[in-house]
Amino acid sequence: MPLPTPDHEALTAVAAGYGLGLSSDEVGEYAPVVAGLLASWDAVAELYEAEAPAPPERAWSRPEAGANPYNAWYVTTSITESSSGPLAGRSVAIKDNTAVAGVPMTNGSTTIEGFVPSTDATIVRRLLDAGATIAGKAVCEDLCFSGAGITASTGHVENPWDASRHAGGSSGGSAALVAGGVVDMATGGDQGGSIRIPASDCGLVGHKPTWGLVPYTGAFPIEATIDHVGPITRTVSDAALMLSVIAGPDGHDPRQPANLQVQDYLGALGQGVQGLRVGVVREGFGLAESEPETDEAVRTAVGALADAGMTVSEVSVPWHLHGPRIWDVIATEGATAQMVDTYGYGLNWKGRYDPEVMEHYGRRWFEDGSRFPETVDLVLLAGKYALNTTHGRHYAMAQNLAPKLAAAYDAALAEVDVLVMPTLPMRATVRPGEGARPPEILGRALEMLANTSPFDVTGHPACSVPAPLADGLPVGMMLVGRQFEDATVLRAAHAYEQAVGGFPAPAAAAASV
């Protein structure tokens, strides 16, 4: 579609917005030059559209009323493209922030409703090539900016352990479907903890890979420096298997280092853990938000690490307590600038963009900003105020502090092989009632980020595994490793799983088997 030629009023508005000080006559002098320059936009569109693929024909359906377990499906499908491969016969739910070609995608939001991707995300293509069956798109939080499973445009996601409680977010639908036994495994995305939070709340394994290990291509971004995608599964071996399939360079994602090398993460589980050193991070316990039951369950789980043959000691990382503040600034100003003001993908990087979703989403939110959820309202109110006031200064400071935060963890990881702490300070909380006001919604959506968010800033691999239940509810223990040593983290997690005899499942999952 040609770009409309701007009229005098449109150019005057642009000039006024930038304070250019142009008179009406001067705007008129620029007008034909602007129009001539913008002819290149039409030429680029013609060139692109001649090469752009059409969405494939793939069957999908919206779940019928009463037939949507945990309110966790956005759409269901059954896409299989290979009968062989390491995931043959395994069903996978794809978080609805990730493109499955020919299948609607909303990223949990009415701002993206109606969009159908034309190409598969890299991880979707790799899953299909490995024999997996894509069973559908799992509900995620609205634009993925919540940790509680309570902001999606399709409604709350219920926790299979207790339907009155949230399933975690933003990958809550993925976790609920795996925990409830509806699918074998699922994908998640993680910018502040959104793989590990629902894994903890639903009693699952959730692995946030090292930043850049798994290509983000085809997933809807929030902030490029904290974007991650990874597996949510019942067992560590399934997480390692999925990671082995989806990890590695794709040549389209600038988050990935040029010299990236992957390992056989599943094969590494058999290497054993005798002598592996575990550091229990003092600052991860006893937080203002911490429940004693959560801390106690994780302390018990730490004992099982020792039983499995690992050497356990306590370590101190004082900068861990600064991590959430650094994340606040990066996530808030960064998401304002990238996720909203530049339509999700941002600008100024080389790699694979999705122009169709950028235009679709940008047009819809620009038409009606009231479509944003409370969490994004908060981000924009704070983020735009800060950007307008100090012009990115605080974002720049936070990004410059990120290496110091990473170095603090690296110093501890020079003495031990894996760091351990509670994934979340508390168990899943009760979902807000109908008519809840913004303070309550925001409290539920963001209350659990203290231990997870720092590792999105630093990019260290971090895996949540189930600790012992506390009063019948799941608790997560998080294991963190050195950059790109995901295999070590998974090895420790697997040995722990073996030591405790496997992880419990909710009654709903047992009934579905």
Q: What is the pLDDT of residues 192-209, one digit of tens each?
A: 999 999 999 999 999 999
> Is residue 479 included in any domain, yes or no?
yes
> Is residue 63 included in any domain, yes or no?
no
Q: What is the pLDDT of residue 427?
A: 98
d(CA 247, CA 239): 12
By percentage, how much of the chain surpasses pLDDT 90?
A: 98
Q: What is the pLDDT of residues 78-123, one digit of tens each?
A: 999 999 999 999 999 999 999 999 999 999 999 999 999 999 999 9
Q: What is the pLDDT of residues 412-434, one digit of tens each?
A: 999 999 999 999 999 999 999 99
Q: What is the pLDDT of residues 205-223, one digit of tens each?
A: 999 999 999 999 999 999 9
d(CA 412, CA 315): 7
Q: What is the pLDDT of residue 508?
A: 75
Cα 262 to Cα 106, 188, 213, 331, distances in angstroms: 31, 20, 8, 28
Q: What is the pLDDT of residue 65?
A: 84
Tokens (6 digits) for 287: 């937080």
Whose tokens are 């994004």? That residue is 376
Structural domain count, the chain? 1
**Is 445 in contact with 195 (CB distance < 8 Å)?**
no
E strand intervals along 228-303:
229-233, 277-281
By percentage, how much of the chain surpasses pLDDT 70?
A: 99
Q: What is the pLDDT of residues 244-291, one digit of tens each?
A: 999 999 999 999 999 999 999 999 999 999 999 999 999 999 999 999
> Is residue 436 included in any domain, yes or no?
yes
> Is residue 136 included in any domain, yes or no?
yes
CATH number at residue 467: 3.90.1300.10
> Is residue 376 included in any domain, yes or no?
yes
> Is residue 289 included in any domain, yes or no?
yes
Identify the band that residue 513 occupies on the pLDDT scale cut at 50, 70 and 90: very low
Average pLDDT over every residue of 473-486: 98
496 in helix, strand or coil?
helix
441 in helix, strand or coil?
helix
> Is residue 216 included in any domain, yes or no?
yes
Tell me the average pLDDT of the chain.
Answer: 97
- Residues identified as active-site: 95, 170, 194
> Is residue 433 included in any domain, yes or no?
yes
Q: What is the pLDDT of residues 10-54, one digit of tens each?
A: 999 999 999 999 999 999 999 999 999 999 999 999 999 999 999
Provide the domain limits for residue 425. Answer: 69-512
